[in-house]
Amino acid sequence: MADELWDEIQDLELGQEDPALFIPHEAYVMVEATNRLSLIGRPLNPRVQNLNSVIAALPRVWGLTTRIHGRILDATYIQFLFQNEVDMLSVHQRQPWIFNNWFVVSTRWEPAPALNFVTTIDLWVQMRGIPLIYVCEETAMEIAQDLGEIIHLDFQEATTTQIAYIRVRVRFGINDRLRFFQRVIFDSGETVTIRFQYERLRRICSSCFRITHNRDYCPYRQRPHSIARERANVS
C-alpha cells in the first residue's frame, strides 16, 4: 500500500509551483573545499563492475585505505575524497585503473562539471613493426596521431635504449573503437603493417572493439534476427 501511495504522489506536481527555496553560499562553502580534493571516477563496464565493490577495492590497490573515502554518486559515477593533494595527484596520474578486468577512469572534480563528463581515457600504446630505417620521432608522431590525441611520446632518438616498439600515450573517447593494426605506405614505396598493443588492456568487446561492454551486450552488433530480416527484405 505504501509503495502504491508513493507511486501516485510521484505522478503529481505537488509543490512545483511553490516559491523556490533559497540556499545561501555559506551553507555549502565547506563542501566545495572538500570536493576540491576529490576524483570523479567512472567504471566503464558497470554490468560487471559493482560500484560498491569498486569504491572498496581501489583504495586498497592504491595503498590509501585509511586516507580515502569513496562514495557512489549515481548509477554511472563514483567519487573518491582525499585528505591531501599529493595522494590525489598520484592516483590520478597513474590511471586508468583496473577492476574486474575492465577500466576505471577518473577526472578531477570541477565546480560546474558538464552534464556528461569523464568521456575520455588516456592509454599507453606500443607501436610495433616500424622498420629500422624509418624509426624516428617524426614517423612515430605521424602514425600515433592517426589513433587520437597524442598526450606524450616516450621516444627520443638520442637517449631511447630500445626500439622494438615505441610507446605513446594517446587520448581516446571511451566509446571509440580500438584499432590493432594500421597499414602504412612510406614515401619510398615500402608498405608495412604496424601493430598496436594497448598496455593494461584486459577485456574488450570482440565484436566492435570497444572497452565499455563485452560481446554479449554489444549495442553495435547485428543480431541474427536482424540479419535474417535484412536478407528477407533484399530478396
Domain of residue 68 covers 20-108
* Number of domains into which the chain is organized: 2
The total number of residues shown for the chain amounts to 235
Q: Of 32, 204, 38, whose CA–CA distance to 106 is shortest?
A: 38
Task: Specify if 13 maps to a domain.
Answer: no
Residue with cell 503529481: 12
Do 138 and 197 lie in a common domain?
yes
Residues 137, 183: one domain? yes
Nearest Cα to 160, choosing from 195, 197, 130, 190? 130
Residues 104 and 24 in one domain: yes
Distance CA 226, CA 229 (A): 5
* Count of helix runs (H) and strand runs (E) in the chain: 6, 10
CATH of the domain at 53: 3.30.70.330
Residue 229's pLDDT band (cuts 50, 70, 90): low
- Estimate to the nearest angstrom the gap between the alpha carbon of 176 and the chain centroid: 10
Q: In this structure, is residue 59 part of a structural domain?
A: yes
- The answer to whether the CB of 189 falls within 8 A of the CB of 133 is no
pLDDT tens-place string over residues 77-132: 999 999 999 999 999 999 999 999 999 999 998 877 666 778 999 999 999 999 99
CATH of the domain at 141: 3.30.70
Angle at 219 between CA 170 and CA 178, to 5 degrees: 20
pTM over 0.85: no
Q: State pLDDT tens for residues 46-61.
A: 999 999 999 999 999 9
Of 85, 108, 131, the residue that ends a domain is 108
- Alpha-carbon distance of 119 to 123, in angstroms, equals 13
